Structure 1
């Protein structure tokens, strides 16, 4: 069970990622961008999830929806 929280603990406590933001992590490492996945693969991060313009647009829409 301890391994389930390893990445979260790393990101919360490690000085090696201090000040790092806007990235996705898995298995205690930065997730690699993937454009296609095999049916039995779940790792990686889609490029659109790393797009700053998408993030800004989502934030603006979210603010408008909640007031």
Structure 2
């Protein structure tokens, strides 16, 4: 478990780090850019399904359809 300050540290780092200026969307953990993790799912790192571009595109299409249905 992390303390409140430890838990907030990565968000603060992401908001203020010049290292991220030239990067697009990245996943961060423990005050650093997270690496893609393909081993034990209990270990830190970006899980493969979170970086899957096909899944992301499918979610985008579904989100467009759902939000379009909600509009009057």
Q: What TM-score, normalized by structure 1, do the two folds share?
A: 0.74
CA deviations on 1:28-67 (whole Å, 9 max, x unpaired) are 11222222326xx341111221122321221111111121
User: Which ranges of 4 or more aligned residues in structure 1 deviate by more than 6 Å?
Assistant: none
Aligned to 2:62: 61
Query: Which has the greater radius of gyration?
Result: 2
Considering only aligned residues, what root-mean-square deviation do their CA atoms show, in Å?
A: 1.9
Greater relative CO (CA pairs within 8 A, separation 6+): 1
Q: Report how many residues are paired.
A: 65
Q: What TM-score, normalized by structure 2, do the two folds share?
A: 0.70
